[in-house]
């Protein structure tokens, strides 16, 4: 093959790949991608819409022919690319597999010479960004309430991952504890005008949220591809129910006083927003997991 790595910056969707520095970025935030997968990504970006066979890719990665099991090596590199881009082989947005032949980059690619400044973000690109990560969207940054990734502080991956995981276990504890003490809660609800309806809402929402929270927890612990984007998509749904469950400390009024219950409930009101921030800071991210496992 000819030289596939000119001195260019490639832009595709919300991502940019800089051939000179070997960096992959999303919304200006660097995504970890090792040297060989990044080289394969540049090959694909250099020939968008064209088939690159495994043999062609392997000849560029291992020109001296010393790597024998190149098929496994190329597959592994493509898998790392998909993890970094939140892509899947079954429903590819960027890298498509052509069975027993090779790979093809299917998204539109813009080439930006390094001597030129990157072109400004167009309204079409903003719309694409908003569709990709709905929770980060906003019509005007001056009126945006939710933080963007660039506005959040840098923190180590173990810290944000641990905090996010603990919050999921906390919520699971709320749901399971409530269902295990229905008799006590029913007695607590009895003075309310619609006690039966309140108890029904508690049971139904807990039954819905237990599997939802288990899904979020599993995706974060096992670094599922696209976990971050999936969480941001379901976050508005979780926000509504989490705000409802911020009242859960009042279910313990047989054991604590109303002042302590109010203080705990006030903290829980912020919890959904804390979870979103932790995800944007790297919790559950595949790229962060790769950094800390290699």
Q: What is the pLDDT of residues 112-136, one digit of tens each?
A: 876 544 444 444 444 444 444 443 4
For all residues of the chain together, what is the average pLDDT?
Answer: 81
pLDDT at 65: 57
pLDDT at 69: 52
pLDDT at 62: 73
Where along the chain do its domains lie? 8-111, 151-293
Task: Decide: 288 and 282 in contact? Cβ < 8 Å.
Answer: yes
pLDDT at 141: 46
pTM above threshold 0.85: no
pLDDT at 224: 82
Residues 8, 216: Cα–Cα separation, whole Å: 38
Please, is 52 exposed, middle or buried when counting C-beta atoms within 10 Å of its C-beta (0-12, 13-18, 19+)?
Answer: buried
Give the model confidence (pLDDT) of 61-85 as tens digits: 777 655 555 556 788 889 999 999 9
- Is residue 33 pLDDT above 50, yes or no? yes
How many alpha carbons fall within 13 Å on the CB side of residue 9? 17
- The secondary structure of 64-97 as a DSSP string is TS--S-HHHHHHHHHHHHHHHHT--SSS-SSEEE
Residues 125, 271: Cα–Cα separation, whole Å: 31
Residue at token pair 């641990």: 162
Query: Could you give the 3-state DSSP secondary structure of residue 196?
Result: helix
Give the model confidence (pLDDT) of 222-278 as tens digits: 888 778 888 888 999 999 999 999 999 999 988 889 999 999 999 999 999 999 999
Q: Rounded to 5 degrees, what are φ and ψ at 34?
A: -65, 170
Residue 185 has a CB neighbour count (10 Å cut-off) of 22
- Is residue 1 pLDDT above 90, yes or no? no
Give the model confidence (pLDDT) of 48-67 as tens digits: 999 999 888 888 877 765 55
Residue at token pair 């989490």: 242
- Please compute the mean of the pLDDT values over residues 9-23 and round it to a whole number: 89
* CATH no. of 8-111: 1.10.10.10
pLDDT at 290: 40
Task: Decide: 13 and 128 in contact? Cβ < 8 Å.
Answer: yes
- Please compute the mean of the pLDDT values over residues 188-200 and round it to a whole number: 92
């Amino acid at each position: 093959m000819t030289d596939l790595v000119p001195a260019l910056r490639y832009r595709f969707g919300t991502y940019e790949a800089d051939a000179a520095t070997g960096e992959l970025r999303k919304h200006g935030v660097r995504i970890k991608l090792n040297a060989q997968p990044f080289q394969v990504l540049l090959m694909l970006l250099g020939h968008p819409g064209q088939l690159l066979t495994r043999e062609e890719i392997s000849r560029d990665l291992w020109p001296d022919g010393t790597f024998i099991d190149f098929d496994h090596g190329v597959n592994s590199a493509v898998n790392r690319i998909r993890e970094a881009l939140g892509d899947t082989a079954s429903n590819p947005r960027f890298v498509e597999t052509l069975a027993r032949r090779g790979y093809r980059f299917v998204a539109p690619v813009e080439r930006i010479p390094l001597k030129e400044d990157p072109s400004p973000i167009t309204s079409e690109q903003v719309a694409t960004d908003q569709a990709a990560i709905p929770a980060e969207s906003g019509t005007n940054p001056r009126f945006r309430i939710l933080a963007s990734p660039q506005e959040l502080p840098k923190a180590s991956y173990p810290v944000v991952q641990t905090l996010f995981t603990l919050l999921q276990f906390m919520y699971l504890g709320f749901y399971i504890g409530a269902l295990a003490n229905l008799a006590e809660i029913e007695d607590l609800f009895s003075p309310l005008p619609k006690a039966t309806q309140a108890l029904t809402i508690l049971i139904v929402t807990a039954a819905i949220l237990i599997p939802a929270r288990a899904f979020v927890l599993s995706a974060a612990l096992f670094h599922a591809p696209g976990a971050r984007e999936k969480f941001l998509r379901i976050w508005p749904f979780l926000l509504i129910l989490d705000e409802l469950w911020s009242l859960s400390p009042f279910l313990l009024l047989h054991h604590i006083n109303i002042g302590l219950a109010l203080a705990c409930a006030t903290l829980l009101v912020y919890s959904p927003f804390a979870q979103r921030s932790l995800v944007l800071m790297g919790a559950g991210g595949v790229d962060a997991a790769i950094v800390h496992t290699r």
